[in-house]
Structure formats: C-alpha cells, structure tokens
A and B are shown apart, each in its own frame.
Chain A
Amino acid sequence: DGGITQSPKYLFRKEGQNVTLSCEQNLNHDAMYWYRQDPGQGLRLIYYSQIVNDFQKGDIAEGYSVSREKKESFPLTVTSAQKNPTAFYLCASSPSTSNQPQHFGDGTRLSIL
C-alpha cells in the first residue's frame, strides 16, 4: 500500500542538540510539506517543497532546516536554534497539480529532555 512513513514516532532532544525527523513517501507525489501541531492550535507550515532540489519556507521556518534530494524523502532537522521544539510534527505529500488533498504520515512527537 502507498503511504507516508514518519520516524521515529517519539523523539527526545537534549539542550543544544540538532535532531532529524524522517519522512518517506511512496505515492509518487511531487510536493511534500512539514507542519507543526501544538495543543489547541491549527497545523502550522514549516517548510514545503514542490519539486526535488527545491523548497520554500513556510510560516514558522526559523530554527528548522530541510533537504529534498530525492522525490521520496523530505527530512526535517530541528536545530538548537529552535527554542521551543516540543510539538507534534506532521509530514504530508500531494500531487503538484492544483486542488489536491494532502496525505499525512502519523507524526513524530518531539520532547525536550
């Protein structure tokens, strides 16, 4: 079955440490997205990529970085510059044509040690 796989499901970060969240899709989608979800708030867009080797900042990109070297993969690094990283992180993908739904993974919950 096609889908999006996020790993790990739970992740703990020490102060001053960078951590990388994995997102892999086998849906052959061109576009991929990273969101952050905090309690009582809507999903907020961190970064998105419409095509391989290209990505754009979303609304809350500070303290995060991404790469898109392969169509299937869109890893997110939470750097030590992100002072409040505790959240539920969701990866999604969609076809690049207009008016398409997004397909989500089951998220990674990041906490601070």
Chain B
Amino acid sequence: SQKIEQNSEALNIQEGKTATLTCNYTNYSPAYLQWYRQDPGRGPVFLLLIRENEKEKRKERLKVTFDTTLKQSLFHITASQPADSATYLCALDMSGGYNKLIFGAGTRLAVHP
C-alpha cells in the first residue's frame, strides 16, 4: 500500500532563513499532492496543490516541487518568520483525482527569532 514519509524530527531554523520540508512516497505516483499547515489543537489549513505534470508551484513565500522520478515533494518557506512555526502535512490523492487523500504524519517547524 502507499506510504508517505515526512521527517518526524522537528526542524529548527533561524528567522529569515529558508525552511525546506520533505515528503517522500512509495509505489505509484499520485494524481496530485497537497500541503497543509496545522497549528496545535486546530484543523489543517490548505496551502498549496501541485499536479503530477507540474514541477513547481509558488504562492507568496511558499514553493512546492514535485519530482515523480524521485517520488518526492519539497516544500520551501523563504524568509521564514516565527509565525510560520507549525506542523506541515503532505497529502496525496490516490483516487485518480477524486479527493480521497492519504496524509503523512507531518513535520514540525520551529522558527526562532
């Protein structure tokens, strides 16, 4: 079955630096991949979606890449701020575009002033 791996260790970075989070998956490539942000005690909030035929997507300080050869997505936050501290979840659609997602466990990001 499909597995998603996100770094379980927290990522600690200095304010102003670029944070890079990794999402690796096994087996066959999904139709698309999504990234969400989750704050403690809250539901996830959608950030970006990237399709299998797209290599890169940007939104303000956020950038996502999707490499179907490596079976990997990278999520970048440039000029990071303490307010970016949260857990970031990667999710894959394995239902051919019908929105049935499989989520990774997430990576916690801590941005220090």
A-to-B contact residues, CB < 8 Å: 4, 6, 31, 35, 40-45, 48, 50, 90, 92, 94, 96, 98-107, 109
Contacts of A96 in B (CB 8 A): 98-99
B-to-A contact residues, CB < 8 Å: 4, 8, 31-32, 34, 41-46, 49, 51, 89, 91, 93, 96-106
Contact of A104 among B8, B44, B49, B99 (CB under 8 A): B44
Contacts of A98 in B (CB 8 A): 31, 96-99
B41 and A107 contacting across the interface, CB-CB below 8 Å: yes
Contact of B46 among A35, A41, A45, A101 (CB under 8 A): A101
User: In the bound complex, what is the Cα–Cα distance between A92 and B100 (angstroms)?
Assistant: 11
The chain B residue sitting closest to A96, CB to CB, is B99
User: In the bound complex, what is the Cα–Cα distance between A94 and B105 (angstroms)?
Assistant: 21
The chain B residue sitting closest to A92, CB to CB, is B43
The chain A residue sitting closest to B47, CB to CB, is A101
A107 and B4 contacting across the interface, CB-CB below 8 Å: no
